[in-house]
Amino acid sequence: MNQDHPEFETMPGAEDAAGQHEAQIQALQAEVEQLKGESLRERADLENQRKRLVRDVEQARKFANEKLLGDLLPVFDSLDAGLAAAGSEPSPLREGLELTYKQLLKVAGDNGLTLLDPASQPFNPEHHQAISQVDAPAGVAPGTVVTVFQKGYLLNERLLRPALVVVAKYD
């Protein structure tokens, strides 16, 4: 009891009520902290989802022509074979084939297609498919591509078709 100021005398149960209010305040503060944490996680999840969506759209755009370009590979092979059959002598037919082949390669290249012609290069299992091995000819290092049966292609640095090659044997 406060004798100097009787008006400030505590009411019975006031201390219990103050303790309950303090407990409620602490519970609410804990809930606020929990909700802040959940909000931050949700924002991070949304940002990650946005980045993933942007990446997926970019990949879809980058490889949208994959089927079309894959279907054109036999045309490239036919033009290549036609040029080989035409010989090395200049002729209007050869010049026309070369021009057509170069134009087609340029259009395909503008759409992300890259030719793999690994003749005389070291064998790369990521880009080449060895169909045979032969004894290394003079001056050729083992593991080197000696013959290319079919050229390979990359689409935006991803393998579309491996080059079919013959490789010099290791001793």
Residue 3 has pLDDT above 70, yes or no: no
Q: What is the mean pLDDT of residues 147-169?
A: 95
pTM surpassing 0.75? no
Looking at the predicted structure, is the pLDDT value of residue 2 above 60? no
CA–CA dist 131, 25 (Å, integer): 76
Task: Mark out the alpha helices in the chain (DSSP H runs).
Answer: 14-62, 66-85, 92-110
pLDDT digits (tens, 9 = 90+) for 34-67: 999 999 999 999 999 999 999 988 888 877 888 9
pLDDT attached to residue 51: 94
